[in-house]
Amino acid sequence: MTTNRTFYGLAPLALVLIALMASQAEARIIRSGGSIKGTDSFNHTVKLVDQSNINSVGLSGGNDYGSYSYNSFSHYVYATPAMDCHYKIEDTRDGFIRTDCDYEFDLGDRLQLQGFVEVFLNNSASYDIVWEIFQGTNSWVFSGSDTWLAEDDDPASDSDDIKKNIFLDAAMPLDMLAGDYTVALTFKQFAADGQQYFSYDSLREFYECEQHQVAQDEFEELCGQRGFASDVDSYTSYREDLHILATDVPEPPLFSLILAGFGAMSWRRIKRA
């Protein structure tokens, strides 16, 4: 009977210790370093415009409902936080380009990721966020209610356009084991009916005019900015490294367990008395 009482006294304590240790687990961002390899000066611009302002030549003019420009070497959608991880860009030997941060989790942690997008246009009709984690030929996709987009935390920002933080908070899938992974973020925004995203490279695509025959011996001049029109504006980030570590819950010292067991037994005896 004494053995049974000791066991029942130890069991609740062990459960409390396990829960307490598990509650201390958290994700970590770790430095990996990097250096930029090259740049170019292509000024790429995207505008959200009325479809009626696009002719067979290109964008004829009119107002836009938001726009952004960027150097074509830059990506402007990242799978790591903006404030701490984008000082350097690493062009690795395996053909991927990465920022200077990695993710690190303990096995069983919640997957809590933060990315950054600099191409958001507030007048877009809707948007989709997809986080994807890769290991070999396997991949895990997260979207919907596990993801969300929030305001940029830069106090100097004076616009709802362009800069946004993107988050993931999801339970780690049971088939994700300890090991090395990569993670990427895809951001898509969709134009409203009657609108399109018009993109062009100002160093390669120019404003031009063409003569179009509209009747016999009658021509009409059409002018426009050369470029490409689409209903969807989509980007996928560079892949970043993500590590899941195998961790064991430490066992409490045997002497402490024995003392706890005696304490629980004494408390039971006092209560019964």
Question: Domain ranges in the chain?
Answer: 1-25+251-273, 27-246
Closest CA to 123 of 75, 52, 67: 67
3-state secondary structure of 28: strand
Distance between CA atoms of 260 and 269, rounded to whole angstroms?
14
pTM of full prediction above 0.75: no
Tokens of residue 204, six digits:
């390669």
Q: What is the mean pLDDT of the chain?
A: 75
Strands (E), 9-83: 28-31, 43-50, 64-71, 77-78
Q: What mean pLDDT comes out for the span 181-210?
A: 89
**Alpha helices of the chain — where are they, by DSSP H?**
2-23, 82-85, 254-272
What pLDDT is attached to residue 204?
A: 73
Q: Would you place residue 271 in the very low, low, confident or very high pLDDT band (cuts 50, 70, 90)?
A: very low
Q: How confident is the model at residue 40 (pLDDT cuts 50, 70, 90)?
A: very low
Region 208-234: mean pLDDT is 84
Q: Count CB neighbours of 115 within 10 A.
A: 27
CA dihedral 75, 80, 81, 87 (to 10 degrees): -60
pLDDT at 69: 83
User: What share of the chain has pLDDT > 90, as a percent?
Assistant: 38
Closest CA to 159 of 129, 187, 120, 114: 120
More confident residue, 266 or 138: 138
pLDDT exceeds 60 at position 15: no
Structure confidence at residue 244 as a pLDDT band (50, 70, 90)? very high
119 touches 131 (CB < 8 A): no
